[in-house]
Amino acid sequence: MPGLKPVLFLNGPNLNLLGTREPDKYGTTTLAEIEKEVREAADEHGLAVRFTQSNHEGTLIDQIHLACTECQAIVINPGGLTHTSVALRDAIAAVRLTTVEVHITNTHRREHFRHHSYISAVADAVILGAGTHGYLLALRHIAHLLAAPGPLPATPTTLRRIT
């Protein structure tokens, strides 16, 4: 959508391998297919979207910093950085944009080290175990917040209504 600040979809390490990486856990849907579905849903909600995937923590942090002025919300699947990156957590906290954390699998049903997320403490919502559909749920949640009449609910971060 021209003139509308996009919702940033960030995908971390190894998510470029979706469709072929451990299909028993992550399915056979590729990241490109997820992006296509999200773009179609964004159009239905009158939202713009931007996608970035990186296997490098610093690149993801740079994208979060840019989002502060260029985007209206963030959807992030940090991959393995979920469980290790204080720096990624701090970047999300610093930009104060509404953030939805997404994981294709239910990380609480996996290895013990995956049970803790540094990101969840600064995210406004967390979607686990909904498969690739979780990305659409995140977009719909953000669309719901933007469409709600009156003031936005108090959350750790506040979605900026862009008109």
Band of residue 3 on the pLDDT scale cut at 50, 70, 90: low
Among the options 26, 112, 116, 133, which is catalytic? 26
Ligand-binding annotation for 92, yes or no, is no
Indicate if 118 belongs to the active site.
Answer: no
Band of residue 163 on the pLDDT scale cut at 50, 70, 90: very low
Ligand-binding annotation for 114, yes or no, is yes
pLDDT per residue as tens digits for the range 105-127: 989 888 887 889 999 999 999 99
The rounded distance, in Å, linking the Cα atoms of 73 and 80 is 22
Among the options 56, 103, 112, 141, which is catalytic? 103
What domains can be seen in the chain, in order of their start residue?
Answer: 7-147 (3.40.50.9100)
The average pLDDT across 19-48 equals 96
Ligand-binding annotation for 105, yes or no, is yes
Ligand-binding annotation for 84, yes or no, is no
Indicate if 135 belongs to the active site.
Answer: no
